Amino acid sequence: MLQKLPAEPHKTKIIQKLPITKYDERLANLKDVCYNTFNLRSDQVTFDLTSTGTSAMSQEQLSGILIGDEAYAGSRNFILLENVVKSILGHKRVIPTHNMLGARKLIARVLGASGRVVLTNSTLADNLFADNGMQHVSVKKNVTLDKIDPVEFAGSIDIERLNGAINKYKPEGIAFMLIETCPSSGHSQPFSFKNLKDVCRVAKENKIITILDISFIIENAAFIINSEDGNDKKSIGELVREMVREVDLTLMNAAEDCRSNVGGFVTTDLDDLADKLRNQVVVFEGLHTYGGMAGRTMEVVARGLQEMVDERSVCWKWSQIDYLCNKLKENDVPTIRGGNGVYLPVKDFLPQLGYEDNPLFVLSAALYLMGGMRIAIDAKYEELVNSEKSKTLGCEIPWDSFTNQHLDHFAQTIIDLHRRRNDVQGLRQVSTGDWTDELRFDLKWGNKPFCPAVSGIDEYRFEPWKVKAIEHIGFTDKGHRVKAAKEAGYNTFLLKSEDIGIDALTDSGTSAMSFEQWSKMFMAHETPYASKDYEEFVSTVQEVFGYRYVLPTHQGRAAEHICSQTLIKDGDSVPGNMYFTTTKLHQELAGGQFVDAIIDDAHDPDSTFEWKGNVDLNKMQDLVKRVGADLIPYLSFETCVNMAGGQPASMDNMREVYDFCNKHGILVLFDATRCAENAYLIRKKDPKYQNSTIRDILKEMMSYGDGCTVSSKKDCLVNICGFFAVNDRKVYEKAQNMLRIYEGTITTGGLSCQDLAAHTQGVHEMLDYNYIRARVEQTQYLGYKLIEAGIPIVKPPGSHAIFLNARKFFDHLDQDEYPAQVLSIEIFIEAGIRTMERGNVSKGRDPVTSKNYRPNLELVRITLPRRVYTNSHMDLIVDAIKNVYKRRHATKGLRFVYEPKELRFFQGRFEYMP
Ligand code: P61
């Protein structure tokens, strides 16, 4: 049996922004294309629900794009494809083609002949075969729509019909037999393995060539493993080979299960046939070693073929379709579960519409109008209406590109439409055409709305991006993790990333970049000197942050080094709203002393004050009184304070603090590392800003300061980079010198131009309201779920991380038994989730007394990378912590077995107390 997975067995590597539209725009778009969704432009469509060429690739596959050997003959990519076909499918010969039609064309030329028939389980005639004079004869088992679900193996061939057809047309009159895996013309229903064997036996007896269309072999195999007796112990890989062994040839649309955007091939062990097919390739496709595919496409296809039998990714697609299907069924929506998605029976869905109302097109247009989804209808019209395909509309789910939040949106749209189905009116055809893409419609009743607007449907609650590339994540069993934890000395910093499932150690440099960022990187011109990329970097930061002078640095601490050395002199005091390790260190290295000026609430994990990042003006006043404003070069004002739990400061506080500092000649320098998150929380919590853009809020925030340091590895959505920006020319000039000495040229800060280009795009993306909402709300989602489960956390939930209160969690442990360290390792052992200790271990020992500092906050930080994990992963984290909480009193403390003097949390090793 395939295992049900609660969350993706991968993380997101690259995202692409989804075009998001409003009801009125969609209505206008529909009118423009005469209600035929095929003709909507991709930038008008939020969700293209076709699996063809739309799946996310693995990062290994994607990198294949750069490994194309574009040799005309005998390329390395082709050799790889041959080898992978041998190992995955078991066939020794492969004939590459530009896509599925290319493969069918070769077959038609080699095996077809005018007047012969094609016996098949497809109900839709193949236009290419028809064009070559062949007749389509469906011998599929007859199963009525209401009987398909659960698993009737309705894609099987009816042996009696098959024998009847062979008798009628005689083996000589039959070109070949084509068996499609989960045919889309039959609601993506599988055939059984037994049926495949029976059919191939009959074909062999009659000397009829058998061809298996393996475009959806994984879905078909998954059905067999899950529902056909005697197959539940097989792996997907085994079954795929066994299925292929039954037939003479396979043909593949590589834009489906291979998860390429394009490409195809034919495989066989029959040398004669292979040679004939190769001879046709040169006529129609290209050369026999590339077949009309770019070398890079062959690489992507080969890697995709190799990966397609990966059990966990199959389990995830299976779980996702079950998830969507169950949601619909629970809400009484007529639904058929297909291998490749869910299929909506049109008659049951819109019973009031007759054939002349074009209900299939109505349903497609209505789903676009209601939820921005496109399920285009792409066929020869005459053939379509005579096939089973016209009876359902298939919402195909591509591999890995949508999250369960997207699926929730699909379900909600379909459910809402179904509830209001009686208000939906028909479409009348206003132009004829042979092909569905040519058809045009108008409303049947011109004055009545086509289908109702649903209030709230435009309030999107899903990630405003789709997944373009994924990275597989380590999955291990508990036994393995117990061993790994021991080997790592019970320190999460010492764990290997391959042992980690969900890595919530940090949000620093761990973001998924967008395709747009990658494309900007590729367009950069490398130089250590002045460049366009540098100029754009500077002008974007100037425009967004509002400061006059900008210096790129390789990351945050480099900016802090320069800023501190430029502004602080020996004996200065530097107030800040809570310390951060690197910030404080650089202040001290420059001769300053850090003074905590955050409000007291920030130190109380149970205070639910919503601006726990605020600076306490009384503390500032006291400091000025105590040391004098002359010895305070600047206030370091952090946005969404990391160590306080990702807590924001209010706009009012920023304004008041700036006024105060101005009066005393003290500069305000923001640590604007998490400034977009702070801006979002201002918009959310302060009614004065609820209609403002993130860009405007951020600009106003920064106007209450004289400059900033930023680690761009957080909000700016890059894996590396930082900057220092100021208004004062003298400070800038001094800082430039530091940059030249310590970092790189003044125009790169030691970065590549690619990094600068990715940053420019990242800054624009962080200001996108839909993005930043999804980002912060994911953290909030995790926080409130934990609170609901009674888990003690720092309240209120912040922006980038949730902090568990380990002291309360393990109330039976003394702080010198390092409860936060215990909790972080227990969460790893429970579910492979990596978090960070922020308590007694991190704080260290008092050098005078040698005693642990025993800080007030004994916390574990669960930090969420941006755009990387989904809410399904969040649910997994919650479940894991709940389990650790249940057994908390049986959990023992830790003690050091190796304790470094400096920053002991990084390298320290522990053992459990006896
Ligand atoms: C983090 F355990 N933060 O949160 P750099 N300012 C602020 C930060 O959060 C920050 C930096 C400056 C990290 C990485 C980290 O002891 C640690 O680009 C508000 O990392 O140089 C970094 O920016 C420094 C984690 C840093 C640590 C130091 O995970």
Residue-wise pLDDT for 338-366, tens only, equals: 999 999 999 999 999 999 999 999 999 99
User: How many CB atoms lie under 10 A from the CB of residue 478?
Assistant: 11
- pLDDT for the residue numbered 244: 98
Q: Which of 560, 578, 580 to probe ligand 1 with, by most ligand atoms within 8 A of CB?
A: 580
Tell me the chain's radius of gyration from C-alpha atoms. Answer: 31
Instruction: Give the residues across from 431 on adjacent strands.
Output: 440
Q: Is the CB of 582 under 6 A from ligand 1?
A: yes
Name the residue at shortest CA distance from atom 5 of ligand 1: 556
Q: Is the CB of 646 under 6 A from ligand 1?
A: no
The burial class, CB within 10 Å (0-12 / 13-18 / 19+), for 541 is buried
CB 804 within 8 A of CB 893: no
Report the separation in Å between the CA atom of 508 and the middle of ligand 1, taken as the mean of its atom positions: 7
User: Residue 182 above 80 pLDDT?
Assistant: yes
CB 255 within 8 A of CB 301: no
Report the separation in Å between the CA atom of 581 and the middle of ligand 1, taken as the mean of its atom positions: 7
Report the separation in Å between the CA atom of 907 and the middle of ligand 1, taken as the mean of its atom positions: 17
Q: Which of 508, 510, 674, 861 to probe ligand 1 with, by most ligand atoms within 8 A of CB?
A: 508
Instruction: Give the residues across from 373 on adjacent strands.
Output: 47
User: Residue 604 above 90 pLDDT?
Assistant: yes
What does the buried/exposed string (b/e) look like for 317-349 if buried means 16 or more CB atoms within 10 Å of the residue's CB?
bbbbbebbbebbeeeebbbbbbbbbbbbbbebb
Instruction: Report the alpha-carbon distance of residue 11 to residue 708 in Å, rounded.
Output: 32
Q: Is the CB of 587 under 6 A from ligand 1?
A: no
- pLDDT for the residue numbered 400: 98
Report the separation in Å between the CA atom of 286 and the middle of ligand 1, taken as the mean of its atom positions: 53
- pLDDT for the residue numbered 432: 85
Main-chain phi, psi angles of 332, to 5 degrees? 60, 25
Main-chain phi, psi angles of 125, to 5 degrees? -65, 140
Q: Which of 586, 711, 717 to probe ligand 1 with, by most ligand atoms within 8 A of CB?
A: 711
Q: Is the CB of 555 under 6 A from ligand 1?
A: yes
- pLDDT for the residue numbered 903: 85
How wide is the angle at C-alpha 406 spanned by C-alphas 774 and 471, nearest 5°? Answer: 80
- pLDDT for the residue numbered 475: 82
Name the residue at shortest CA distance from atom 29 of ligand 1: 506
Report the separation in Å between the CA atom of 298 and the middle of ligand 1, taken as the mean of its atom positions: 42
Q: Is the CB of 583 under 6 A from ligand 1?
A: yes
CB 46 within 8 A of CB 373: yes
The atom number, within ligand 1, closest to the CA of 557 reads 21
Instruction: Report the alpha-carbon distance of residue 346 to residue 360 in Å, rounded.
Output: 6
Identity (one letter) of the amino acid at 292?
A: G
Residue with the two structure tokens 């539209």: 21
Report the separation in Å between the CA atom of 643 and the middle of ligand 1, taken as the mean of its atom positions: 10
- pLDDT for the residue numbered 376: 96
Instruction: Report the alpha-carbon distance of residue 204 to residue 542 in Å, rounded.
Output: 74
CA 845 remoteness from chain centre: 42
Report the separation in Å between the CA atom of 574 and the middle of ligand 1, taken as the mean of its atom positions: 19
3-state secondary structure of 834: strand
Report the separation in Å between the CA atom of 898 and the middle of ligand 1, taken as the mean of its atom positions: 25
The closest of 320, 333, 378 to 184, measured between CA atoms, is 378
In angstroms, how far apart are the furthest CA atoms of the chain? 105
Write down the mean pLDDT value for the chain. Answer: 96
Report the separation in Å between the CA atom of 611 and the middle of ligand 1, taken as the mean of its atom positions: 21
What does the buried/exposed string (b/e) look like for 795-817 if buried means 16 or more CB atoms within 10 Å of the residue's CB?
bbbbbbbbbbbbbebbeebebeb
- pLDDT for the residue numbered 634: 98
CB 259 within 8 A of CB 56: yes
Name the residue at shortest CA distance from atom 12 of ligand 1: 556
The closest of 875, 820, 826, 833 to 499, measured between CA atoms, is 833
User: Residue 373 above 80 pLDDT?
Assistant: yes
Q: Mean pLDDT across the stretch 98-107?
A: 96
Q: Is the CB of 506 under 6 A from ligand 1?
A: yes
Q: Is the CB of 837 under 6 A from ligand 1?
A: no
DSSP at 901: S
Instruction: Report the alpha-carbon distance of residue 15 to residue 762 in Å, rounded.
Output: 12
User: Residue 459 above 90 pLDDT?
Assistant: no
How wide is the angle at C-alpha 245 spanned by C-alphas 242 and 251, nearest 5°? Answer: 105
Report the separation in Å between the CA atom of 477 and the middle of ligand 1, taken as the mean of its atom positions: 31
The closest of 868, 888, 688, 702 to 808, measured between CA atoms, is 888
Q: Is the CB of 638 under 6 A from ligand 1?
A: yes
The atom number, within ligand 1, closest to the CA of 903 reads 16
Q: Is the CB of 800 under 6 A from ligand 1?
A: no
Q: What sign does the CA torsion over 286, 287, 293, 295 have?
A: negative
- pLDDT for the residue numbered 453: 79
The atom number, within ligand 1, closest to the CA of 836 reads 2
- pLDDT for the residue numbered 456: 62
Q: Mean pLDDT across the stretch 125-137?
A: 95
- pLDDT for the residue numbered 455: 64
- pLDDT for the residue numbered 458: 67
- pLDDT for the residue numbered 597: 98
CB 757 within 8 A of CB 521: yes
List pLDDT tens digits, range 374-428: 999 999 999 999 899 999 999 999 999 999 999 999 999 999 999 999 999 999 9
Q: Is the CB of 556 under 6 A from ligand 1?
A: yes
Specify the pairing of strand 264-268 against strand 249-253.
Answer: antiparallel
Element (H, E) at 502: strand 502-503
User: How many CB atoms lie under 10 A from the CB of residue 659?
Assistant: 11
Phi-psi region of 811 (alpha: psi -120 to 50; beta: other; left: phi over 0): alpha
Report the separation in Å between the CA atom of 666 and the middle of ligand 1, taken as the mean of its atom positions: 25
User: Residue 551 above 80 pLDDT?
Assistant: yes
Which of the four pLDDT bands, split at 50, 70 and 90, describes residue 256? very high
- pLDDT for the residue numbered 454: 73
Provide the residue count of the chain.
914
What percentage of the chain carries pLDDT values higher than 90? Answer: 94
Q: Answer whether the bond into residue 150 is a cis peptide, omega within 30°.
A: yes
CB 880 within 8 A of CB 833: yes
Q: What is the 3-state secondary structure (H, E, C) of 554-588?
A: CCHHHHHHHHHHHHCCCCCEEEECCCCHHHHHHHH
The atom number, within ligand 1, closest to the CA of 712 reads 18
Phi-psi region of 721 (alpha: psi -120 to 50; beta: other; left: phi over 0): left
- pLDDT for the residue numbered 457: 61
Q: Specify the range with the lowest mean pLDDT, choosing from 60-74, 659-673, 681-695.
A: 60-74
List pLDDT tens digits, range 554-603: 999 999 999 999 999 999 999 999 999 999 999 999 999 999 999 999 99
- pLDDT for the residue numbered 445: 86
The atom number, within ligand 1, closest to the CA of 638 reads 19
Report the separation in Å between the CA atom of 579 and the middle of ligand 1, taken as the mean of its atom positions: 11
Q: Is the CB of 508 under 6 A from ligand 1?
A: yes
Residue with the two structure tokens 């009987």: 147
CB 655 within 8 A of CB 583: no
CB 833 within 8 A of CB 504: yes
The burial class, CB within 10 Å (0-12 / 13-18 / 19+), for 269 is middle
Q: Is the CB of 306 under 6 A from ligand 1?
A: no
Instruction: Report the alpha-carbon distance of residue 828 to residue 831 in Å, rounded.
Output: 6
User: Residue 526 above 80 pLDDT?
Assistant: yes
Q: Which of 560, 582, 800 to probe ligand 1 with, by most ligand atoms within 8 A of CB?
A: 582
Q: Six-digit token pair at 685?
A: 């919590």
Main-chain phi, psi angles of 900, to 5 degrees? -65, 155
Identity (one letter) of the amino acid at 504?
A: A
Q: Is the CB of 639 under 6 A from ligand 1?
A: no
- In angstroms, the Cα distances linking 891 to 21, 267, 495, 878 are 51, 57, 20, 19
Report the separation in Å between the CA atom of 620 and the middle of ligand 1, taken as the mean of its atom positions: 25
Q: Is the CB of 842 under 6 A from ligand 1?
A: no
What are 894-903's contacts with CB under 8 Å, separation 24+? 894/490, 894/817, 894/818, 894/821, 894/822, 894/825, 895/817, 895/818, 897/489, 898/489, 903/844
CB 262 within 8 A of CB 290: no
DSSP at 694: H
Report the separation in Å between the CA atom of 852 and the middle of ligand 1, taken as the mean of its atom positions: 23
- In angstroms, the Cα distances linking 445 to 353, 357, 665, 794 are 13, 11, 72, 58
The atom number, within ligand 1, closest to the CA of 555 reads 18
What does the buried/exposed string (b/e) look like for 69-85 if buried means 16 or more CB atoms within 10 Å of the residue's CB?
beeeeebebbebbbebb
Which of the four pLDDT bands, split at 50, 70 and 90, describes residue 902? confident
